[in-house]
Amino acid sequence: MPSDITGTDILQESDQPGRREFVFVKGPIFGNIILADEINRTPPKTQSALLEAMQEHRVTASGKVFDLPSPFFVLATQNPIEQEGTYSLPEAQLDRFMFFIHVDYPTQEEELRIAKETTGSSLAQLKHIISGEQVLKFQEVVQRVPVPDHIYDTAVQWVRATRPKTEDAPDFVKEWVTWGAGPRAVQYLIRGAKARAVLQGSYLVRLEDLIAVAEPVLSHRILTNFHAQAEGVTSRTVIDKLIERTRQQA
């Protein structure tokens, strides 16, 4: 139920003898890092309980608004193979996820490490290595990274080109795409490119940074049609052609 995530009111004894009052007990959403494992096994009504939390960073329950702690970050997983008993995530909720990352099978070396580290007698101990205040400072650094005008222009052009009913859409988008990306895609392209620039030690965002985050930002925001699916065309194919188009114009 949605209250299993957001929290619920519980009737408890009041400080005054003989009286009772409702007390809001916070759910697991009130944390800094939230992992929703196999989120597509959650009913749509419960999935919708995450929408306000992910966008406004707050929870509304029983007419009261509760702010979520900062920093606040949501991770979710889906099993792409087993679909029985699952519910598709609505586009409105998918749009609130910055990245959609496809995790493939591990390499041989990674699989060997998994076998060695998870079948022994002792597990690695987790250590608290960073505080919430430090994360907020890192986020502030990312926000301050300068972005050249041509990077803004490219991000906007990519997103607008994914919409098949606009004049900016190329022919392959009109042929393969049913629905394109919204304004959040532009925001996340720029923010993702800024973060990558920081990780690469760059003092400003480059086109390479924008290209690197294009697929995880746009892949779940582009819906292909039946014609594309019949030809084996995916949203990744559309993104690759948009990037190639930009390189040819450069």
Let me know if residue 6 belongs to a domain: yes
The Cα–Cα gap between 224 and 72 comes to: 32
Residue recorded with tokens 């779940």: 220
Q: Judge if 158 and 85 occupy the same domain.
A: no
Q: Is residue 204 within 8 Å of residue 146, measured between CB atoms? A: yes
> Tell me, what's the pLDDT at 167?
82
> Within 13 Å, how many C-alpha atoms sit on residue 99's CB side?
17
Query: Total structural domains in the chain?
Result: 2
Per-residue buried b or exposed e for 123-153, using 16+ beta carbons within 10 Å of the residue's own CB: eeeeeeeeeeeeeeeeeeebeebebeeebee
Q: Which two tokens stand for residue 183?
A: 């304004």
Let me know if residue 242 belongs to a domain: yes
Query: For 50-100, what is each residue's pLDDT tens digit?
Result: 777 887 888 877 777 888 888 888 888 887 766 666 667 777 777 788 888
Query: For 86-145, what is each residue's pLDDT tens digit?
Result: 667 777 777 788 888 888 889 999 999 888 888 877 777 888 888 888 888 998 989 999
In this structure, what CATH number is given to the domain that contains residue 243? 1.10.8.80
Q: Judge if 70 and 175 occupy the same domain.
A: no
Indicate whether 173 pLDDT > 80.
yes
Instruction: Indicate yes or no: pTM above 0.95.
Output: no
Q: Which residue range(s) make up the domain with 26?
A: 1-97
Q: Judge if 157 and 78 occupy the same domain.
A: no
Residue 67 gets which letter from DSSP? E
Instruction: Give how far the C-alpha of residue 64 lies from the chain's centroid of Cα atoms, to the nearest Å.
Output: 27
In this structure, what CATH number is given to the domain that contains residue 33? 3.40.50.300
